[in-house]
Structure 1
Amino acid sequence: MGVTRGAKRPVGVAMAWLRRQPPKVKAFLAVVAGMAALAFLRLVVRDHDNLFVAAEAVHALGISVLSYKLIKEKTCAGLSLKSQDLTALFLAVRLYCSFVMEYDIHTLLDTAALGTTLWVIYMMRFKLKSSYMEDKDNFAIYFVVVPCAILAILIHPSTSHNIFNRICWAFCVYLEAVSVLPQLRLMQNTQIVEPFTAHYVFALGIARFLSCAHWILQVLDTHGRLLTALGYGLWPPIVLLSEIVQTFILADFCYYYVKSVVGGNLVLRLPSGVV
């Protein structure tokens, strides 16, 4: 017993110290931790393309947890239908782009992800409708869909593909970056997140970090040539910025998730102002 307490004490002290720090210090420490994680991944992962595969695997694990919640617990309480709708939309657009522009292994992965997402939407809309927290899921999705569409028209790849396809490509990149916002809003409204929902969103955060690491390390490995391959103008840096935005949107939630797990709490309680 004494050994266990001694092992946990440094972590508890570190978490207590971190909680007392002002937001700017926390943000700085998050950036430092992210850079340290990138450096570690660059050293231990030889083929950085594997990071994207790892991101897909973690995402699939998160969806599996979500499926378990819907099938075994027969409830969708705590899940945002609007986030699932946005996910299905960007996946459908990305799948279309994949078919007409590149068609590779990611086409199959996106097909599976879209099929699973549509199943989740069906369960939430029909089978488990009574447990859906519609009053808490109050994020207006046109606040993200319309800006993403406008931005895609203004800033899109400068490749040789059809202009419509290039705009669609940009739209799905931008929409993916913000598709989790309704889910975060719902959790902020309830301020109490049950375990399976927390595991699912944490998996999204880890997947987003691995995907972001994949892009950043690929740019470093190619000495910037990857950006040229993506096109010219504002599009290449915007792609990287979208990946970083996705990661930081979920970073705050992941902090509270880790804090809750370290504290031995099964139910995650979010303070006001997280989202």
Structure 2
Amino acid sequence: MGTDRRAKNPVQAFVWWVKKQPPKVKALLGTLAGIVALIFLRLVVDDHDNLFVAAEAIHAVGIAVLIYKLMKEKTCAGLSLKSQELTAIFLATRLYCSVVMEYDIHTILDLCTFATTGWVIYMMRFKLRATLMNDLDNLKLYYVLLPCLALAALVHPSTSHNLVNRILWAFCVYLEAVSVLPQLRVMQNTKVVEPFTAHYVFALGIARFLSCAHWVLQVIDGNSFLLTVLGTGLWPVAVLLSEIVQTFILADFCYYYVKSLVEGQMMVRLPSGIV
């Protein structure tokens, strides 16, 4: 019966086939899917800066899903408070840099996202504290913050801005790339991810991919924006690598999220070793 159903549903049949492939083949298929998506975005999106705006908007949608979860279910089980705190830190840093260095539509979007993230932190830390999973949310913050700060001091923009501002700008870029790690640790510890948390993390994955696509397409098109705003040297390369890293960090989860949807499952079940 199961084989007959897969045969009648091409999507399920493809997911079933991918599931049987070894990790290297899955990685290759994922890379090819990313390349195809990049080609598609390049063809249909005229202004690639809109991809970055879309990424920030989708991040905001993900946080709205969290707010709905907290208000409806009155629990923060399955969520990482540390990931939310890291998100607030990089957003606050990026807001400061945006105000003193550029100030545009991204500043307004970041302000809205920062405010809603602050509300989520308030609810988790004070109103729903009894439902926190502190024993599972066990990734030390300084394991993330200190390496990002050290890397920012070494590799940062070579623009004419104040040195401290340039280091802070680099710090928020690096921190954004790895801010989801505590959330992934919580999900790895629980093995089963409830729907609202899964929707939120999947939204992050889509947002990170669009942000990465924005920078990659800027490079492919030879846009002078990278040279005039980001400067020269290692910094543009570091930005691209940060975007790629944060995309790949969430790629595994996004695969299992889509697989669960195709199979009609509400919960996302993760195998060992995904994080």
TM-score, normalisation: structure 2: 0.95
User: Could you say which residue in structure 1 is the equivalent of 2:117?
Assistant: 117
CA distance, structure 1, for counterparts of residue 8 and residue 184 of structure 2: 30
Q: Which amino acid aligns with 2:195?
A: P
CA distance, structure 1, for counterparts of residue 57 and residue 170 of structure 2: 24
DSSP 3-state at the match of 2:9: helix
Contact persistence 2:218–2:226 (CA under 8 A): no
Spell out the pairing of 1:167-178 with structure 2 (5 A cutoff): 167-178=167-178
How far did residue 184 of structure 1 move? 0.3
CA distance, structure 2, for counterparts of residue 100 and residue 53 of structure 1: 20
How far did residue 7 of structure 1 move? 7.9
DSSP 3-state at the match of 1:240: helix
Spell out the pairing of 1:20-169 with structure 2 (5 A cutoff): 20-169=20-169
Structure 1 pair 73–239 and aligned structure 2 pair: CA distance change class (3 A)? same
Kindly indicate whether residue 205 of structure 2 is the aligned counterpart of residue 226 of structure 1: no
User: Could you say which residue in structure 1 is the equivalent of 2:212?
Assistant: 212
Higher deviation after alignment, 260-269 or 5-14: 5-14
Contact persistence 2:195–2:268 (CA under 8 A): yes
> Gaps (5+ residues) in structure 1?
none
Q: CA RMSD in A?
A: 1.4
Identity %: 72
DSSP 3-state at the match of 2:47: coil
Q: Which amino acid aligns with 2:226?
A: L
CA distance, structure 2, for counterparts of residue 113 and residue 59 of structure 1: 8
CA distance, structure 2, for counterparts of residue 6 and residue 255 of structure 1: 18
TM-score, normalisation: structure 1: 0.95
Aligned residue pairs, count: 271
Contact persistence 1:219–1:226 (CA under 8 A): no
CA distance, structure 1, for counterparts of residue 203 and residue 148 of structure 2: 24
DSSP 3-state at the match of 1:138: coil
How far did residue 15 of structure 1 move? 1.2
Contact persistence 1:80–1:186 (CA under 8 A): yes
Runs ≥4 in structure 1, deviation > 3 angstroms?
A: 4-8
> Gaps (5+ residues) in structure 2?
none
Contact persistence 1:157–1:170 (CA under 8 A): yes
